[in-house]
Amino acid sequence: MKLQNDLILRAARGEKTERTPVWMMRQAGRILPEYREVRKSIGGFKELVETPAAAAEVTVQPVDILGVDAAIIFSDILVIPEAMGLSYQMVEATGPWFEKTISSESDIQKLKIAEAGDLDYVMQAIQLTKKALNGRVPLIGFAGAPWTIFSYMIQGKGSKTFSEAKKFLYTEPVLSHKLLHKIAESTINYLKGQIKAGVDIVQIFDSWAGVLSPEQYKEFALHYISMICDAITEVPVIVFAKGAHFARKEMSKLNCDVIGLDWNMDIKESRQMIGNNKTLQGNIDPCLLYADEGTIQLETEEMLKAFGPLRHIANLGHGLYPDTDPEKVKFFVNTIKNFKHLD
Ligand code: CP3
């Protein structure tokens, strides 16, 4: 089906667009009362992820309510460890928790390489979402980057330092590579399944990039992101590595179309380091949305000017925070949609 709004896809490919397109990480869920209502009626977060009709409903909500230029499928990066054999729970107000974690070679051997069929509920949710969107905007698929998924599989829960996961890199480098390889292969199967089911573009989230040294990042993270980028040839690929300011030059060599910036990364410096062959995405501090409208408008327009009219997809520098006022989010989106670049 032909898309009525393909601004994000055109910007990803480096084509000219009438205006800068916008979507936000974590736009599905978190801030919308309409999302909380659906989650409550179905029982909880995991039930919602695993019920295709409900997942499709909350995926479309931000398109209707916030007016964004793309939908992102409602799911979680942690469905991959689960499909490989490590199930998780989402504990209210704490976050993810894994009963079993990985600590030995036999643990790694027992893990299966996930196939798209293992995550059929996601594929069904994508098909239902595509029907519901009816070509209005593109649908973004996603997966966690291997290093971030590895962190949860070793650590078993969230952490500020991910020191257990980093300890494994230092003490068991060979096993670390074995596990990262299995995760990367699972991720390729998963993303290819999402593309077959209908997503128009995919994003790889490397949320814990910032805890590694540049050398470790190259060896244990970028290598596997690169493997995924090389395998995904059907749709544009966005790579977002939170905190990886030290890897921007290396990332410019990836076989991807878009690189996401967080708000710590200077826009002009990033463009210089990455060059003109990639689209950049980002990068407003999610906390700006706590400010008054005048401040939001000023800083958002400064960002748009710094990126310029070409090869930019507007976004935040990380996901929306749960206590953000949806009215402020709408104001941010409309500021971008109303902005005109000087020729
Ligand atoms: O972007 C979207 O709107 C699509 C949905 C989405 C969710 N998680 C839903 C979710 C996406 C893209 C993710 C990715 C994800 N999940 C990441 C990478 C992005 C990032 O923010 O760095 C990570 C690290 C996770 C793991 C995860 N899931 C954590 C640490 C938590 C608990 C803390 C929290 O609220 O983020 C989750 C739960 C989760 N995933 C929620 C949502 C809407 C919150 C639970 C709820 O509100 O019901």
Q: Residue 87, Cβ neighbours under 10 Å: how many? A: 13
For residue 236, being part of any structural domain is answered with yes
Q: Which atom of ligand 1 is nearest to the CA of 78?
A: 26
Distance CA 203, CA 144 (A): 8
Dihedral angle over CA of 93, 94, 100, 103, nearest 10: 160
Range of the domain at 12: 7-338
pLDDT of residue 29: 86
Q: Is 13 a catalytic residue?
A: no
Would you state the pLDDT for residue 288?
A: 98
Pocket-testing residue among 76, 205, 315, 320, ligand 1, by greatest number of atoms within 8 A of Cβ: 76
pLDDT of amino acid 312: 98
205 within ligand 1 shell (Cβ under 6 A): yes
Cβ neighbours for 87, distance < 8 A, ≥ 6 positions apart: 98, 99
In a domain, 309, yes or no: yes
pLDDT of residue 283: 98
Task: Give a yes or no: residue 265 inside a domain.
Answer: yes
Q: Is 11 within a domain?
A: yes
Active-site annotation holds for 35? no
Evaluate whether residue 2 is within a structural domain. Answer: no
* Nearest CA owner, ligand 1 atom 45: 45
Q: Is 29 in the pocket of ligand 1 (CB under 6 A)?
A: yes
Catalytic residue among 10, 13, 26, 136: 26
Cα 99 to middle of ligand 1, angstroms: 19
Q: Check which CATH number belongs to the domain holding 331 and give it.
A: 3.20.20.210
pTM: 0.97
How far, in Å, CA of 83 to CA of 6, rounded? 32
| pLDDT for the residue numbered 93 | 85
How far, in Å, are 32, 260, 281, 284 from residue 303 at the CA level? Answer: 25, 14, 11, 7
The domain tally of the chain equals 1
CB of 9 closer than 8 Å to CB of 200? yes
pLDDT at 92: 87
Q: In what order do the strands lie in the sheet with 258-260?
A: 71-72, 139-144, 201-206, 237-241, 258-260, 279-284, 312-316
Decide if 70 contacts 139 (C-beta within 8 A).
Answer: yes
In a domain, residue 272? The reply is yes
Would residue 30 show up in a list of annotated catalytic residues for this protein?
A: yes
Q: Is 78 in the pocket of ligand 1 (CB under 6 A)?
A: yes
Whether 343 is in a domain gets the answer no
- For residue 115, tell me if it sits in a domain: yes
Q: What is the pLDDT along the chain (343 residues), one digit of tens a residue?
A: 799 999 999 999 999 999 999 999 999 988 999 999 999 999 999 999 999 999 999 999 999 999 999 999 999 999 999 999 999 999 988 999 999 999 999 999 999 999 999 999 999 999 999 999 999 999 999 999 999 999 999 999 999 999 999 999 999 999 999 999 999 999 999 999 999 999 999 999 999 999 999 999 999 999 999 999 999 999 999 999 999 999 999 999 999 999 999 999 999 999 999 999 999 999 999 999 999 999 999 999 999 999 999 999 999 999 999 999 999 999 999 999 999 998 6
For ligand 1, say whether the CB of 28 is within 6 Å of any of its atoms.
yes
- Rounded distance between C-alpha atoms, residue 287 and residue 200, angstroms: 29
Q: What is the position in ligand 1's atom list of the atom closest to the CA of 242?
A: 22
